[in-house]
């Protein structure tokens, strides 16, 4: 099992889709993350799809995002938005809740949350 990717450990495409959808459901409903929600379009369908495609490859599955859009260039793509510590923390609030609802195994949960935090922190531009 040590050679399995996080994508495989999670269960593949359907689970990554569920994680993505749950993340956006939380973001769309939780007033504690209204600043983060305001950075997104009213219709979250495109955002959901792009995050799903990105997470697929980022977690070690099919590189859907790269195949469709090229290199993610995460920081460059997020420069139009004021991503400060508060935005990072709101993003992590949503992801922490989604991951917590999905994953029971503590070691995998912590590894994913640490990786998400590193990436979210890298996105800060303010």
**The model scores a pTM over 0.85:** yes
Place of tokens 């593949």: 12
- Return the sign of the alpha-carbon dihedral for residues 5, 58, 114, 13: negative
Full set of structural domains in the chain with CATH:
6-122 (1.10.490.10)
pLDDT band at 16 (very low <50, low <70, confident <90, very high): very high
Kindly tell me if the per-residue pLDDT of 4 is higher than 80: yes
pLDDT band at 2 (very low <50, low <70, confident <90, very high): low
The SS3 call for residue 105 is coil
Q: Distance of CA 36 to CAs 5, 68, 97, 101, Å? A: 29, 25, 15, 21
For 30-73, give the secondary structure using H, E and C. Answer: CHHHHHHHHCCCCCCHHHHHHHHHHHHHHCCCCCHHHHHHCCCC
């Amino acid at each position: 099992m040590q050679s399995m990717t996080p994508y495989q450990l999670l269960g593949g495409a359907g689970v990554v889709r569920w994680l993505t959808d749950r993340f956006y459901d939380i973001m769309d409903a939780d007033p504690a993350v209204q600043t983060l929600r305001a950075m997104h379009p009213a219709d979250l369908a495109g955002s959901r799809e792009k995050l799903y495609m990105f997470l697929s490859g980022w977690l070690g599955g099919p590189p859907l995002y790269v195949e469709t859009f090229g290199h993610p260039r995460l920081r460059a793509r997020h420069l139009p938005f004021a991503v400060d510590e508060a935005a990072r923390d709101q993003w992590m609030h949503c992801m922490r809740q989604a991951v917590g609802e999905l994953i029971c195994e503590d070691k995998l949960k912590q590894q994913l949350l640490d990786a998400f935090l590193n990436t979210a922190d890298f996105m800060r531009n303010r």
